[in-house]
Structure 1
């Protein structure tokens, strides 16, 4: 292993702090969780009260747009809020087209199933999805694939955890989609929004906190550019 292949020398406390900060950034933190839960919670609450599909759908979409607007006004990142808008919009379209309020939840459920399979398949293929997501956040990009096997192993474990947790969630929701009514499905889905997510994030933190620190490829590139400039300056004849 060359000097460039060595992970950054950090203390365990530093590594854990960096991991916590990166996970908080990647998954949106508390605010991101609120933006994920609120539209669905509003939909099922209104539908439980008056069984009005149109009013429930419009209210859910409106609050999603409001959350995006708030982030724009505050000049904050909008990726989590925008993802919520798209999810709610697809749900509204499905429900309006079929006239079945349960179909408001179907796009999100299908997305969860697809994401679960993506985590598992990429882990089996040796390119774990969680590493592709978090690599840029840790400034290591894909260096973990060939230069930091300890982190690749941690990302693989984390991807398996995400995949299996999301599959377990799907195993609960899809039977309810067929057998339960809209309010039962809605309340169970809201209840399952945060706990599985927190479990997956916690397991990711556990795996990464025990892994070697990331290789900062951006710092490496800057160091290489600085060294090249020094070599070029040394070759120039003195004026």
Structure 2
């Protein structure tokens, strides 16, 4: 892996570079590259396929757990960043423990419901407060406010086009989390494990990629103008 590849940002971090002059935005890179996509989806695919095929929850949990651990071990052996795989291992571990303790395969997906609901509530509150949550996250990544927090906050909040863009993408992500719950919770309640697993996969990485791409399209231009104005002010001072 080259140094350039190692420095590629993923997730919302990739949006922090939107509007750069030397921009080379890639949705695939933003969602972790082909390998990151496979590693993210594989435990879920294995869980639903193996459970539907065998109806053996303990076997399904064991195989899924081993697979998640192996992904981290392979990255360690290859001396690659393990943060993504490790965070995925923790999330999968919580889901598997939940399913194992309750003896119900459908409870593998409960943790996802909780996180989606929490994100939806937090983002909704930020919209009501007129302080876009996505803006806070992206700007925090872009320029860590170690000093003069008020100046940092006023800098991007005072840019009306940029704030408006952040409000729009915050609404977009809120809708994504709510839509997941609307579609998936009824499948959980009716105990349709296979349908729930497939829906979870379809509304996972594909929706994540789409949300990042649309967010980039919305914020790239106002962020570019904001950065250009900041450079102009810096040169003038």
Q: TM-score, normalised by structure 2?
A: 0.74
Whether the 8 Å CA contact 1:128–1:156 is kept in 2: the answer is yes
1:175 aligns with 2:186: yes
Q: Could you tell me which residue of structure 1 aligns to residue 135 of structure 2?
A: 131
Do structure 1's residue 203 and structure 2's residue 214 form an aligned pair?
yes
Q: Which residue of 2 aligns with 1:92?
A: 96
User: Rg: which structure is higher?
Assistant: 1
CA distance in 2, matches of 1:53, 1:25: 34
Q: Distance in 1 between matches of 2:117 and 2:143?
A: 29
State the superposition RMSD in angstroms: 3.2
What is aligned with 2:3? none
- Residues 63-212 of structure 1 mapped to structure 2, 5 A cutoff: 63-139=67-143, 142-143=152-153, 144-212=155-223
Match of 2:20 in 1: 15
TM-score scaled by length of structure 1: 0.74
Q: Which runs of 5+ in 2 are unaligned?
A: 1-17, 146-151
Q: Which moved more, 1:114-123 or 1:171-180?
A: 114-123
Distance 1:63 1:200 in 2: 28
Contact 1:26/1:134, CA 8 A, preserved across alignment: no
Confirm or deny: 8 A CA contact 1:71 1:78 kept in the other structure.
yes
Deviation readout 1:15-52 (Å, 9 max, x if unpaired): 3863826x766643443332221111110111111111
Q: Deviations over 1:89-113 (max 9, x none)?
A: 1111111111111101111122122
C-alpha separation in 2, matches of 1:65 and 1:110 = 24
Task: State the distance in 1 between where 2:117 and 2:193 align.
Answer: 20
How many angstroms does 1:129 deviate by? 2.5
May I ask how many residue pairs the two structures share in their alignment?
209
2: CA distance, partners of 1:74 / 1:149: 46
For the 8 Å contact 1:16–1:209, the answer to whether it is kept is no
Distance 1:31 1:176 in 2: 29
**8 Å CA contact retained: 1:67, 1:81:** yes
Gapped regions of structure 1 (runs ≥ 5): 1-12, 228-239
